Amino acid sequence: MRAAELVTLNMRELDRLKVIQDVADGRLNALPPDSSVRLL
């Protein structure tokens, strides 16, 4: 079993992670064209 690791994220990175998790879980399939969330 691997030891737990500490990961530090700023709010922008945390928002990106939440979007990626939503896509992976199927809760989000596309962003509207006027979305302010930028993944790249």
Domain residue ranges of the chain, discontinuous segments joined by +: 1-29
SS3 27: coil
Query: What dihedral angle (degrees, nearest 10) is formed by the CA atoms of 29, 33, 39, 40?
Result: 130
Q: What is the pLDDT of residue 31?
A: 61
Query: What dihedral angle (degrees, nearest 10) is formed by the CA atoms of 24, 27, 22, 31?
Result: 100
Rounded average pLDDT over 5-16? 94
The gap between the terminal CA atoms of the chain, to the nearest Å, is 33
Which candidate, 40, 21, 19, places its Cα nearest to that of 31?
A: 19
Rounded average pLDDT over 7-14? 94
What integer best gives the mean pLDDT of the chain? 82
